[in-house]
């Protein structure tokens, strides 16, 4: 799996098969080889890049088996793109015992030329006992191990475990350590059919976080448009869908926000491929086979329209906002989204430092977003390390430090106290006024007095009751002329601590630093030491772009391999000229690296050769084998002015 774009756990990637490259996320429509309602070639025009069909059905049907063995599965279904074949596990769950064993069904899939071959796993039901689910995980892994994977062969090793999270974690780790190159999450169809999306959140998130990130995650049976955005947000790359034709047979039509009955419709949507070709009445009056085919086209179009929108949202870095809007369209989805918020601690490690899109703040539930959780944790540590008089300024939530700026700056420099500003039902240090998402926000300004009060009590608990002053009167302090500290210096140190970690700010920016501001905007721009630029504060997100000189100061202050990746010496020579760092040349790395943050590139002797921005988090770096890990912007042999970044 090669990464193209990323937004948290969601990603656009390229997955290579023998019959072509598939761009993820995507849905593989299910083809019943006994009855093809829409030809696979027509599916291509609707957005399908690959399909999935069932090797069990092919093998047990004489005519299909003979043709598939003679001409291959691609000829059988008239499709020249990637084809995944299922093993029949679900049919075994529905209809009873399977007459073929694991090795036999895998060998058959090989003989018919499947691109992605699925082992015969043990289907775990949501109501299985713990012992049954554990045995299913162990047996499925045993079956994966008995398959010898050939060169260039892709074997799908399903992640089972029922509703037991420790078993899902175990299964994900076992399958990731095996030769399986593709990881379907199985045993979830009953949950999908009963709309237990909140349980699916736990299953999918546990599977993704404990799997090899270079291997795609596939959610078996999860192809309904309404659940796609949340699933991709949690890291799903592939889906399959038979619902497009099943629903069509029942006269039901898929929409991005749910399912509608044809008999209850007044008109067809303009985006539908059957708009203008039929009216609702004509569809109702049509022969069953014609109506099913027409509605199947509509349903596939709905699925791929949603997939395309999700990809665009990943590219724009606002999939979370889109998934949240989708979630609020249905109570079951919203319950699932609430479960995501409850597990925000698991997501923080994958959250990028900043996004291209503004942060959307709706209400108090937005405070559980991983970005805000990271900010909250920083504020708590900031206050814990600065236990002193704390004043909460009486200003609004937007652009917190912009009103009466001169007075605030004057007080800040004359008095050694913490200044906090109310922001989105919480409080943040005034030093972070320009950083993402504090300034880069679109807010509803809906206040939650209960949450606000709880946040105040939290501050009082950290600092000590009696040392926190809410809405303290800002008086004229012109009679005091001596300054105890420099606002700009403390500001850049606080931002550096948020961006790079505890106590890095003072090491990166010592007392002798010179701070240059923009003539046009007055914003902080370049930070120099001994006429060398250490870093530039970016206007768009308030964070720093480092130079090699700044990277060296951090390297000296942070224990190896903190905030850096170490590469082979051959790669180091290449990177020192300004070229990007590729995953396969990284030998050691900091697992705490934050996606999109500045990352130091060093050689085997810990010499800084370049600095750039990480494409993924440190938890993912070791899994990828291809693609760019760090996009360099400054190097020792190709010096660029960071102010141009």
For 127-156, write each residue's pLDDT tens digit: 999 999 999 999 999 999 999 999 999 999
- Res 93: pLDDT: 62
Residues ≥6 apart with Cβ < 8 Å to 52: 28, 29, 30, 31, 83, 84, 85, 86, 240
The residue out of 200, 231, 250 marking a domain boundary is: 250
Asked if residue 628 and residue 519 are part of one domain, the reply reads yes
The answer to whether the beta carbons of residues 12 and 5 sit under 8 Å apart is yes
Q: Active-site residue among 7, 62, 80, 86?
A: 86
Please state, in angstroms and rounded to a whole number, the distance separating the CA atoms of residues 533 and 549.
Answer: 7
Number of domains in the chain: 3
- Res 99: pLDDT: 72
CA angle 641, 642, 645 (to 5 degrees): 110
Q: What count of residues does the chain have?
A: 645
Asked if residue 184 and residue 51 are part of one domain, the reply reads yes
Tokens of 634: 């400054």
Please state, in angstroms and rounded to a whole number, the distance separating the CA atoms of residues 533 and 324.
Answer: 41
Q: What is the DSSP string of 228-260?
A: HHHHHHTT--EEEESHHHHHHHTTEEEETTEEE
For 151-184, write each residue's pLDDT tens digit: 999 999 999 999 999 999 999 999 999 999 999 9
Please state, in angstroms and rounded to a whole number, the distance separating the CA atoms of residues 432 and 435.
Answer: 5
Residue 401 has pLDDT above 50, yes or no: no
The conformational region for residue 81 under phi > 0 = left, psi -120 to 50 = alpha, else beta, is beta
Please state, in angstroms and rounded to a whole number, the distance separating the CA atoms of residues 585 and 36.
Answer: 47
Q: Is residue 367 part of a domain?
A: yes
Please state, in angstroms and rounded to a whole number, the distance separating the CA atoms of residues 305 and 302.
Answer: 5
CA angle 337, 161, 326 (to 5 degrees): 15
Please state, in angstroms and rounded to a whole number, the distance separating the CA atoms of residues 583 and 595.
Answer: 14
Give all strands of the β-sheet with 116-118 in edge-to-edge order. Answer: 154-156, 116-118, 83-86, 51-54, 26-31, 238-241, 217-219, 183-185
Segments forming the whole domain that contains residue 51 = 10-250
Asked if residue 491 and residue 463 are part of one domain, the reply reads no
Residue identified by tokens 């073929």 is 100
Q: Is residue 50 part of a domain?
A: yes
214-223, 272-281, 516-525: the lowest-pLDDT one: 516-525
Asked if residue 491 and residue 465 are part of one domain, the reply reads no
Asked if residue 205 and residue 178 are part of one domain, the reply reads yes
Q: Is residue 144 part of a domain?
A: yes
The residue out of 194, 223, 250 marking a domain boundary is: 250
Tokens of 163: 């509703």
Q: What is the DSSP string of 568-593?
A: -HHHHHHHTTTPPEEGGGEEEE-TTP
Residues ≥6 apart with Cβ < 8 Å to 522: none
- Res 88: pLDDT: 82
Q: Is residue 124 part of a domain?
A: yes
pTM for the structure as a whole: 0.94
Q: How far is CA 424 from the centre of its chain?
A: 24
- State the pLDDT confidence band at 397, using cuts at 50, 70 and 90: very low
Asked if residue 455 and residue 540 are part of one domain, the reply reads no
Asked if residue 134 and residue 55 are part of one domain, the reply reads yes
The CATH number that applies at residue 81 is: 3.20.20.105
- Res 639: pLDDT: 56
The helix/strand/coil state of 625 is: coil
Please state, in angstroms and rounded to a whole number, the distance separating the CA atoms of residues 343 and 592.
Answer: 19
449, 455, 458, 460: CA torsion to nearest 10: -70
Q: Is residue 502 part of a domain?
A: yes
Asked if residue 218 and residue 171 are part of one domain, the reply reads yes
Residues 516-534: b if buried by 16+ CB within 10 A, e if exposed: eeeeeeeebbbbbbeeebb
Asked if residue 541 and residue 450 are part of one domain, the reply reads no
Long-range contacts of 318-324 (CB under 8 A, 24+ apart): 318/7, 318/355, 318/357, 318/360, 319/7, 319/8, 319/10, 319/229, 319/232, 319/233, 320/7, 320/8, 320/233, 320/369, 321/357, 321/360, 322/229, 323/229, 323/230, 323/232, 323/233, 324/360, 324/362
The residue out of 187, 218, 250 marking a domain boundary is: 250
Average pLDDT over residues 111-120: 97
The CATH number that applies at residue 535 is: 2.30.130.10
The number of beta carbons lying within 10 Å of the beta carbon of residue 640 is 14
Asked if residue 462 and residue 497 are part of one domain, the reply reads no
- Res 98: pLDDT: 66
Asked if residue 504 and residue 635 are part of one domain, the reply reads yes
Asked if residue 580 and residue 500 are part of one domain, the reply reads yes
For 242-256, write each residue's pLDDT tens digit: 999 999 999 999 999
Q: What percent of the chain has pLDDT over 70?
A: 94
Q: Is residue 259 part of a domain?
A: no
Q: Is residue 318 part of a domain?
A: no
Q: Are strands 154-156 and 83-86 parallel, antiparallel or unpaired?
A: unpaired
The conformational region for residue 255 under phi > 0 = left, psi -120 to 50 = alpha, else beta, is beta
Q: Is residue 23 part of a domain?
A: yes
Tokens of 559: 């224990």
* Residue 212 annotated as catalytic: no
- Res 588: pLDDT: 98
């Amino acid at each position: 799996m090669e990464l193209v774009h990323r937004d948290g756990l969601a990603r656009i990637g390229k997955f290579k098969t023998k019959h072509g490259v598939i761009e993820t996320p995507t849905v593989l429509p299910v083809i019943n080889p006994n009855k093809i309602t829409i030809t696979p070639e027509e599916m291509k025009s609707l957005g399908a890049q690959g399909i999935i069909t069932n090797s069990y059905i092919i093998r047990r049907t004489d005519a299909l088996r003979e043709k598939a063995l003679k001409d291959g599965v691609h000829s059988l279904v008239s499709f020249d793109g990637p084809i995944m074949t299922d093993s029949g596990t679900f049919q075994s769950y529905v209809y009873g015992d399977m007459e073929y064993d694991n090795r036999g069904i895998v060998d058959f899939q090989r003989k018919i030329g499947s691109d992605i071959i699925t082992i015969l796993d043990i289907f775990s039901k949501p109501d299985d006992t713990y012992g049954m689910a554990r045995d299913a995980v162990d047996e499925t892994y045993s079956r994966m191990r008995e398959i010898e994977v050939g060169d260039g062969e892709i074997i799908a090793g399903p992640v089972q475990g029922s509703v037991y999270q420790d078993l899902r974690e175990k299964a994900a780790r076992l399958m990731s350590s095996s030769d399986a190159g593709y990881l379907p999450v199985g045993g979830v169809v009953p949950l999908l059919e009963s709309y237990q999306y909140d349980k699916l959140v736990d299953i999918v998130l546990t599977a993704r976080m404990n799997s090899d990130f270079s291997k795609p995650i596939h959610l078996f049976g999860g192809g309904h448009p309404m659940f796609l955005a949340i699933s991709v947000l949690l890291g799903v790359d592939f889906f399959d869908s038979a619902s497009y034709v099943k629903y069509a047979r029942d006269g039901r039509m898929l929409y991005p926000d749910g399912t509608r009955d044809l008999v209850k419709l007044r008109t067809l949507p303009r985006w539908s491929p059957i708009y203008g070709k039929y009216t609702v009445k004509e569809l109702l009056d049509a022969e069953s086979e014609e109506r099913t085919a027409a509605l199947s086209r509509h349903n596939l179009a709905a699925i791929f329209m949603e997939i395309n929108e999700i990809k665009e949202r990943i590219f724009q870095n606002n999939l979370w906002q889109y998934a949240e809007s989708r979630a609020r369209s249905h109570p079951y989805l919203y319950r699932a989204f609430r479960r995501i918020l409850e597990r925000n601690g698991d997501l923080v490690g994958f959250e990028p430092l900043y996004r291209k899109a503004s942060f959307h703040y709706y209400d108090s539930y937005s405070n559980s977003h991983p970005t805000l959780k990271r900010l909250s944790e920083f504020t708590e540590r900031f206050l814990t390390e600065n236990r002193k008089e704390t004043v909460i300024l009486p200003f609004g939530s937007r652009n917190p430090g912009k009103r009466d700026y001169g007075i605030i700056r004057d007080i800040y420099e004359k008095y050694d106290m913490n200044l906090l500003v109310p922001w989105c039902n919480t409080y943040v240090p005034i030093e972070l006024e320009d950083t993402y998402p504090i300034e880069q926000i679109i807010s509803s300004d809906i206040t939650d007095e209960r949450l606000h009060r709880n946040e105040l009590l939290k501050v009082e608990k950290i600092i000590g009751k009696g040392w926190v002053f809410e809405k303290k009167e800002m008086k004229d302090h012109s009679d005091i002329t001596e300054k105890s500290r420099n606002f700009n210096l403390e500001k850049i140190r606080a931002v550096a601590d948020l961006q790079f970690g505890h106590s890095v700010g003072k090491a990166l920016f010592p007392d002798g630093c010179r701070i240059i501001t923009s003539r046009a905007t007055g914003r902080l721009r370049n930070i120099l030491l001994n006429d060398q630029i250490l870093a530039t504060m970016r206007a768009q997100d308030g964070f720093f772009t480092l130079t090699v000189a700044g990277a060296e100061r951090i390297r000296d202050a942070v224990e190896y391999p903190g905030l850096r990746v170490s590469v082979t010496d051959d790669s180091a020579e290449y990177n020192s000229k300004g070229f990007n760092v590729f995953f396969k040349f990284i030998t050691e790395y900091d697992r705490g690296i934050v996606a999109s943050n500045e990352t130091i590139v060093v050689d085997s002797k810990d010499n800084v050769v370049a600095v750039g921005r990480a494409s993924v988090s440190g938890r993912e770096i070791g899994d990828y084998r291809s693609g760019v890990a760090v996009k360099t912007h400054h190097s020792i042999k190709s010096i660029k002015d960071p102010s141009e970044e």
